[in-house]
Amino acid sequence: MVRTVGSRGPKTMEAIRTAGLRLIREHGYEAITLRQLGQEVGIQPGSMYNYIQSKQELLFILIRDHMVALSAEVATALEGAIDPLDRLRRFIRFHVSYHIRRTDEVFIGGSELRSLEGENRTAILAMRREYERLLVAILEDGMAAGQFKRTDPPVTAYAILAMLTGVCTWYNPAGRMGEEELIRLHQDMILGGVLV
């Protein structure tokens, strides 16, 4: 759709990233072709190789950059907070906020993991585990402090992450629910459940 014809230099790489994110999100990594991508960007397929080494590398870059940003931003979001309950609230706020801001990256980062090969996959999985560990640690701390019910922390973390990450698949920013309300709803659900 958006076709930056004749884009040159650094702008081209940016155009490749943007178009790549959108196309892969929409059709999946295996389903898209470098021809499609080139057309979207406004260059010939062969020219793509001035910017990327391979289709696989493009996927890796997109996911890795997203994971790097996620790690950096979550650190900022939790900065200074010590109380487990406070940290959990902040974690939820950050995660939801990030996931509706960068829907494409997040979605791809989950669904296209299986298309990553060898070391690429290993590297990303390590970063994911690190991120998950943050939540597990919060839960453990909260349980130790007697604030949270005693459960299996990793499993509870997975359940929570599944719920929080889900927003990137169905949340519509133009819909009737605003970001703030969405965050509250998730904080309430996770902290207190549905019961009155």
Partner DNA sequence: TATGAATGAGGGTTCATTCAT
Partner DNA sequence: TATGAATGAACCCTCATTCAT
Contact criterion met (CB below 8 Å) for 88 and 159: no
Q: Minimal distance in Å, beta carbon 78 to DNA? A: 38
Candidate list 19, 21, 24, 34; residue touching DNA; CB under 7 A: 34
Residue 56 to residues 20, 31, 63, 117, Cα–Cα distance (Å)? 12, 13, 11, 8
129 binds, among DNA, a copy of itself, none (CB under 5 to 8 A by kind): none
Residues 52-71 contacting DNA, CB under 7 A: 54-56
Dig out the tokens for 157 from the structure: 């973390």
160 binds, among DNA, a copy of itself, none (CB under 5 to 8 A by kind): a copy of itself
- Which one, of 169, 46, 196, 174, lies nearest residue 109 by Cα? 169
Terminal-to-terminal C-alpha distance of the chain: 48
Q: Minimal distance in Å, beta carbon 31 to a copy of itself? A: 5
Candidate list 70, 87, 148, 183; residue touching a copy of itself; CB under 8 A: 148
Dig out the tokens for 38 from the structure: 């080139």
Q: How many amino acids of this chain bind a copy of itself (CB under 8 A)? A: 45
Q: Minimal distance in Å, beta carbon 170 to a copy of itself? A: 5
Residue 136 to residues 112, 147, 168, 184, Cα–Cα distance (Å)? 24, 14, 22, 21
111 binds a copy of itself (CB under 8 A): yes
Q: How far apart are CA 84 and CA 115, in angstroms?
A: 36
Name which of 83 and 181 has its Cβ closer to a copy of itself: 181
33 binds DNA (CB under 7 A): yes
